[in-house]
Amino acid sequence: MEVIMMLTYDQPGVMQRVMAEFTRKKINVDTIVVGPCEMSEKSRIVISVRDRETALGVIEHLRALQEVIEADIVDHRRHEAYAIMLSRDGVCRVTGTVEEVESLIKKSQPEKYIEVVNAI
């Protein structure tokens, strides 16, 4: 899996324009997360695709879009994981790098972990 992260302007039509690049390149997108971000009038779009070649084939096209301020392929070490576990204090959330979260799950009682989302 490769994750592409974009910072874009937050206005109608941006998703259509971004997705059109994937359509043109025949890329089937695995996941999309999009929403307004910490900067006003800007959004972040996070998209995962199958492999590195696919990501490399589209990244420069994304960068060429006027409404895309930045587009990068996320460094693997930065893939964040998110898990929900049962602990003594009830349900708790754990976030961190994939390795960190996985080792935490192993250290606690694995049967008590509820769900892990390995996306961003």
Partner 1 sequence: MKGARAVVELLEKQNVEVLFGIPGGVLLPLYDSLVDSDMRHILPRHEQCGAHMADGYARVSKRPGVCIATSGPGATNLVTGVATAFMDSSPLVALTGQVATGVLGNDAFQEADSFSLMMPITKHNFRVTDPKTLPEAMKRAFLIATTGRYGPVHVDLPIDILQAEIADTDMNKEVRVPKPRRNLAGLLDSIKLLEQAERPTILVGGGVSWSRAGPEITRLAELLTAPIVTTLMAKGSVPENHPLVLGVCGMHGRQVANYALNNCDVLLAIGTRFSDRVTGRLSEFGAQTKVVHVDIDSSEIGKNVKGRVGLIGDAWTVVNALIAGLQQRKKRATWKSRILELNKECSCDFNLESNPIKPQKVIHELSKLLPDDAIVTTEVGQNQMWASHFFKCYGKRMFITSGGLGTMGFGFPAALGAKIARPESVVADIAGDGSLQMVSQEFATAMENDIPVMICLLNNGWLGMVKQWQKLFYDSRYNATNLGGSPDFVKLAEAYGAQAIRVDKHSEVTDAIRSGIKSDVPILLDFTIDPEEDVLPMTPPGKSASDWIKGRCQWKGGGE
For binding to partner 1 (CB under 8 A), which residues are involved? Answer: 12-13, 16-17, 20, 24, 57, 60-61, 63-66
Which residue type, as a one-letter code, is found at position 75? D
- Round the CA-based radius of gyration of the chain to a whole number and report it: 17
CB of 29 to partner 1, least distance (A): 17
Which tokens in the block code for residue 85?
A: 């576990």
Instruction: Pick between residue 56 and residue 114 the one whose CB is nearest to partner 1.
Output: 56
Report the Cα 15 to chain-centroid distance in Å: 15
The CB-of-13 to partner 1 minimum distance in angstroms stands at 7
Given the DSSP bridges, would you call strands 113-117 and 80-87 parallel, antiparallel or unpaired? antiparallel
Nearer to partner 1, 50 or 63 (CB): 63
Residue with tokens 């060429």: 64
Please, which residue, 68 or 81, has the CB nearer to partner 1? 68
* Shortest distance (Å) from residue 30 CB to partner 1: 22
Reduce the DSSP state of residue 100 to 3 states and report it: helix
